[in-house]
Amino acid sequence: MTLSQHLENDVGLYQQTLKRPIHCTGVGLHSGAKVSLKIKPAAVNAGIAFVRTDPRGGHTVIPARWDHVVDTRLCTVIGNGRGVNVGTIEHLMAALAGTGIDNAVIEIDAPEVPIMDGSAAPFVFLIECAGIEQQDARRQVLRLRRHVAVGDANRRATLTPGAGIGFGFEIAFDSAVMAHRTGSFEMTDGAFKQDISRARTFGFLHEVEELRRLGLARGGSLNNAVVISGDTVLNEEGLRYQDEFVRHKILDSIGDLYLAGHRIMGQFHGWRSGHALNNQLLRSLFADAANYELSDMTPADLEQPVADNWNYPQHLAATA
């Protein structure tokens, strides 16, 4: 059997990159500035890396890894530790994880990824337009050996060993339109695009007004976020999913956890978690080598559903 035939028979076991570069432009959520972004193929085992191509960025390469996260207050920001940063990376990282891209270079001429429509769907579209190419090296995954948890009485994030790649989330907001929601998601072929990718970022009107007073959220609008005032959704078209808010929190978590550098085999659960706690969870995971092992993906991994100890069985039905 030739190598190409072997790869065709083991879809999912091997690393993937893009077939060709693809480009887009948009605005930064907080800066409001125009941003140009290009996603390019990368070599085996290169991982995901951002490159600032503008003069201020100086072609600085910033690996998309948990240990390069420098800020998590409003979004996930990675940097080189010397003031060259790239922010709002979580939606693009979620799209790369959801489409199975292991290796890519992202060139960007600004310190913020364009917000697009506030979801990961435009990035999924770009990746599909570029095409996905299998590479001649086996994909490696992080297998959890021990339960890892961070947080307090108000918010919590955990990783639990088990088969499959599962995400569960619970939100609780003081608004009838959001209320208490619970959702779960299993990372299987095609599921991310259908069930999660279109869920948009969201916020309350009074929060947006305060951010703008501070010189932030200059690029935010009803075209790239769901905005809530009291118990009312202000967007004329309403919600894309009945439970869009919890789906978006799952989307953010997928993007944040992909900064582990590999897929994590096991289950994530967040209770009112956010970017800061998600990064803290990865730091706790990697603080002790006994928590995990890195090994090749196997055919059994592709066949196994989420483990029986997955405690959040409510699957997210796609309801537009």
Looking at residue 314, its pLDDT comes to 41
Tell me, what's the pLDDT at 29? 92
β-strands 48-52, 104-108 pairing: parallel
Same domain as 229, residue 145? yes
Strands (E), the chain: 14-18, 22-27, 34-41, 48-52, 60-63, 69-71, 77-79, 85-86, 104-108, 132-138, 140-144, 148-151, 156-160, 165-172, 180-186, 202-204, 226-229, 232-233, 263-271, 292-296
Q: Do 162 and 188 fall into the same domain?
A: yes
Residue numbers of the chain with a pLDDT score lower than 50: 1-9, 307-320
Domain end (from 86, 109, 138): 138
Residue 51 lies in a domain: yes
Estimate the crossing angle of helix 275-286 against helix 244-257, to 10 degrees: 40
Both 95 and 16 in a single domain? yes
Domain boundary among 123, 138, 153: 138
Query: Which strands sit side by side in the sheet containing 77-79, from one edge to the other?
Result: 69-71, 77-79, 85-86
Q: For residues 187 and 184, what is the distance between their CA atoms, to the nearest angstrom?
A: 10
Record the tokens describing residue 14, joined without a space: 């091997």
Q: Can you tell me the distance from the alpha carbon of 103 to that of 118, in angstroms, rounded to the nearest whole number? A: 24
Please say which residue of 138, 169, 195 terminates a domain.
138
Domain co-membership, 278 together with 169:
yes
CATH number at residue 18: 3.30.230.20
Residues 265 and 206 in one domain: yes
Residue that has been written with the tokens 């209770």 in this structure: 271
131 assigned to some structural domain: yes
Domain harbouring 178, CATH code = 3.30.1700.10
At 306 the pLDDT is 57
Q: What is the pLDDT of residue 313?
A: 37
pLDDT for position 179: 67
Q: Is residue 311 part of a domain?
A: no
The pair of three-digit structure tokens given for residue 68, joined into one six-digit string = 């390069």
Same domain assignment for residues 38 and 174: no
178 and 247 both lie in a single domain? yes
Residue 302's pLDDT is 82
Is 318 part of a structural domain of the chain? no
Same domain flag for 126 and 180: no
Count of domains forming the chain: 2
Which pLDDT does position 7 carry in this prediction? 38
Which of 30, 180, 275, 315 is flagged as catalytic?
275
Q: Is 111 found in the same domain as 146?
A: no
- Residues 167 and 278 both lie in one domain: yes
- Which pLDDT score, from 0 to 100, does residue 10 have? 53
Angle at CA of residue 17, ends 13 and 21, nearest 5°: 165
Does 114 share its domain with 155? no
Known catalytic membership, residue 275: yes
User: Per-residue pLDDT tens for 177-232?
Assistant: 876 689 999 998 889 999 999 999 999 998 888 888 888 788 999 999 999 998 89
The domain of 265 spans 140-303
